[in-house]
Amino acid sequence: MNSKLKTQNHKSSIDNRQLGISIAELAIEYADQRVPYQHRGTSRNGCDCTGLIVAICRELGYLKKFVLRQYREDWNLHAGAGNQVIEELRKFGVEIPKREAGIGDIPVMLFGKCPAHCGIIVARGPVIVHSLKSEHYCNKSVLKKSMWSARWVTTFRLIEEKLN
């Protein structure tokens, strides 16, 4: 491997880890402030699971023009619901093995008939912050001690270059 490429990959890795830490810090604020659940919400006034990620990215100066696609609140309960969450996350990050998941990464979980729920890893465990209608607000959960552990299907790492 040429040394210039190695240096660029190393720098990118450092930048993405710092981005992950910044994302996690804001996610903890959302949970501590008990930001309410709001279908398709994308701010501290209210958000759903994907809206949480959009809101935090916007606070960090990214996704300013991004518009969350339209979806019904129960879209994930219907046959053929698809992989909307995964499709959206592919625009802004890369899929990584679960074993490599770290602070600021986004686990995607099955909910209903498809991968339709996500959160942000904020601590080892892993502990996630997520927003779910039945819980009424953003909160922290230990992933491995919750129902989400068996439903965790993939993980994404946001990439700064894809967020601009």
**What pTM, to 2 d.p., does this model score?**
0.85
Residues paired with residue 94 on neighbouring β-strands, in sequence order: 157
Domain that holds residue 129: 3-163
The burial class, CB within 10 Å (0-12 / 13-18 / 19+), for 10 is exposed
For residue 86, count CB atoms less than 10 angstroms from its CB and return exposed for 0-12, middle for 13-18, buried for 19 or more: middle
Is 14 a residue whose pLDDT tops 70? no
Beta strand 46-47 with 93-96 is unpaired
**Which carries the bigger pLDDT value, residue 15 or residue 120?**
120
The 10s digit of each residue's pLDDT in 90-122 is: 999 999 999 999 999 999 998 877 788 899 999
Give the number of domains in the chain: 1
CATH number, domain with residue 40: 3.90.1720.10
Tokens, residue 120: 């942000």
pLDDT band at 88 (very low <50, low <70, confident <90, very high): confident
User: Whole-angstrom Cα distance, residue 53 to residue 33?
Assistant: 16
